[in-house]
Amino acid sequence: MEAQEKTVINKETPAKREFMTPGRTNKEDRINFVKYWANYVKTHSDKEWSSQQNIVIDSQMMQLPD
Amino acid sequence: MEYNVDKREIKLDRELSKLDKLVIRFLDILKKYTDYVIISGYVSIILGRTRATEDVDLFIKKMDYETFLKFYEELVKNGFWCINAESPKDIFSFLENKMAVRFSLENTSAPNFELKFPKRQVDLDTFDDFLTIIMPENKIKISSLERQIAFKRFYLKSYKDKEDALHLEETFRGQIDYDKVNKLKEIVKDIED
């Protein structure tokens, strides 16, 4: 019982999710993602979006020093 | 990220990528010798676009050979090489002949820094139409968002370039001067290489 209450107390309220509209074509889907991501950049801290973006960038820059 | 249109500054507190760190390392050397403005893809990338790049494009202000030689020697001392030629005279001659030259870390080809002297008046104007990205420990000069959007939408025009422009337009919606974009469109749409 105690453990269950603890779980409830520690549970974070999930943020309201934003959804991306799928595109009918590859081109439209890419454009929709660019818009979706730009909105993410606008609504989240620089540290938050850049840490995700860096996974994309750094994975293609393996030869570079940290 | 906070864009102050009047001050022409963007405050950015991002985690630096490996690419950002390399750019800062290169600029720390370059700015001792000449003025620069970063143009094209990296502008969108540092401002959040989710893609990597093989090159970072920069306009650099013209310098004489003596200054270039010192710049080149410091680059070499710090582990960079030129992928177009080894002789500084040859490299400088490419620049003087309106060609771009590329520097990368020794024994690599990418990512690289593509440097060029301004070729046309619209290129030269970039030095009067730049923004400063202010990060906690570094500043970087980039061309204005309107200039980026105009060049990418109406001159370069690939899907990648149009998506780069879209990223800037969406991220800075309400802060883009579209009269300026349209004026630049009229200039860049007729550029022939």
**For testing contact with chain B, the best of A59, A61, A62, A66 (most B CBs within 10 A):** A61
ipTM, two decimals, is 0.93
pLDDT tens string B33-75: 999 999 999 999 999 999 999 999 999 999 999 999 999 999 9
* B126 is a domain residue: yes
The range of the structural domain enclosing residue B77 comes to 2-144
Band of pLDDT at residue A13, cut at 50, 70 and 90? low
Looking at residue B25, which CATH number applies to its domain? 3.30.460
For residue A25, give how far its alpha carbon lies from the nearest alpha carbon of chain B (Å): 14
Number of domains chain B contains: 1
List pLDDT tens digits, range B70-106.
999 999 999 999 999 999 999 999 999 999 999 999 9
Q: Give the residue from chain A lying closest to B104, CA to CA.
A: A64
In a domain, B185, yes or no: no
Per DSSP, helices labelled H in chain A are: 2-10, 26-43, 46-59
Tell me if B102 is assigned to some domain. yes
In a domain, B115, yes or no: yes
Question: Band of the pLDDT at A4, cuts 50, 70, 90?
Answer: very low
B34 inside domain: yes
* Residue B188 maps to a domain: no
Inform me whether the C-beta atom of residue B51 falls under 8 Å from chain A C-beta atoms. yes
In a domain, B111, yes or no: yes
- With CB atoms and an 8 Å threshold, state whether A42 touches B19: no
* B190, part of any domain: no
pLDDT at A66 over 80: no
Q: Which of B10, B18, B22, B112 is the mutation pick for testing A, counting most A CBs within 10 A?
A: B18
